[in-house]
Structure 1
């Protein structure tokens, strides 16, 4: 993450990664204030057998793009709502990357989806993880069905 102020959003990704038993490491590295450290982390990630990088940043939000520029790994960017523009500035910074330097970008403050996207990427070659994803999606469907049943009951009560 680009700043410790991003923690309240970024921890939502960690909850999902932990739920799926996916190992992770967490760092604060600024594209502007600790540029060399950010570059080093990105350059060494694949050597440490990382398979995907999740990077959250607000405002100018250069961190995901800087990481993507120097790593062969997929980078998932999380635009953080950190300014008066409510994260739109960060979103634009991530989705408007130059050709050849892709950053997969989720919604503003979308840390949960960033983790789920990372898990989908990892599940390409991990059948156990893929099965956990299938079960997770089935549980989401069960929850929606329960909510629908509750609403249907409320509708019948007013008829």
Structure 2
């Protein structure tokens, strides 16, 4: 099981590291690349093809501003692509969110919340869990632990 993470700028590294952390937590192999869809389209196409040939099953792509990267990648592969809109400009990431979530029909990109690379990785794990029972078991255990954590806090009065 393998995920490939793409993002368009070195400045996005700290946000996209959150996806890598989740994948490591669940024992999912991953690779990551900084490649701009605008400035290095041929390199991006070569890298997507190589990732697919190397066993990648899900792609996470983070992008800010016009946020073309997830859609461009989706046009190059039939693998699931999860877009992470990144806050990269004057409108607080709204431009990236709308660019990714409004992909034209027939070549979809799943979209998570603004700067939420961790959720992209959780979604990638859920997609992979369809095929890998051991990952499905880890996700169920993770969810059970979340439930217990919340239950332990629940029912207590809080001062607000």
Query: What is the rounded CA distance, in whole Å, between the counterparts of 1:81 and 1:15 in structure 2?
Result: 20
Out of 139, 144, 154, the position equivalent to 1:148 is 154
Distance 1:137 1:12 in 2: 18
Gaps of 5+ in 2: 1-6
Structure 2 counterpart of 1:7: 13
- After the TM superposition, which residues 71-150 of structure 1 pair with which residues of structure 2 at under 5 Å, given as runs? 71-149=77-155
Partner residue in 2 for 1:62: 68
Render the CA deviation track for 1:98-145: whole Å, top value 9, x for unaligned: 112110010001111100000001110100000000011111111211
Answer whether contact 1:68 1:75 (CA < 8 A) is retained: yes
2:50 corresponding residue in structure 1: 44
What SS does the corresponding residue of 1:108 show, helix, strand or coil? Answer: coil
Decide which moves more: 95-104 or 55-64: 95-104
Please give the secondary structure, in 1, of the residue aligned with 2:125: helix
Aligned equivalent of 1:31: 37
RMSD over aligned Cα, in angstroms? 1.4
Q: TM-score, normalization: structure 1?
A: 0.92
SS of 2:16's equivalent in the other structure is helix
Q: TM-score, normalised by structure 2?
A: 0.91
Contact kept, 8 Å, 1:46 with 1:72, in 2: the verdict is: no
Structure 1: stretches of 5+ with no match in the other structure: none
Specify the structure having the higher radius of gyration (Cα): 1
1:95: Cα distance to partner?
1.1
More strand by share: 2
Q: 1:142 to 1:60 in 2, by over 3 A?
A: same
Aligned residues: 154
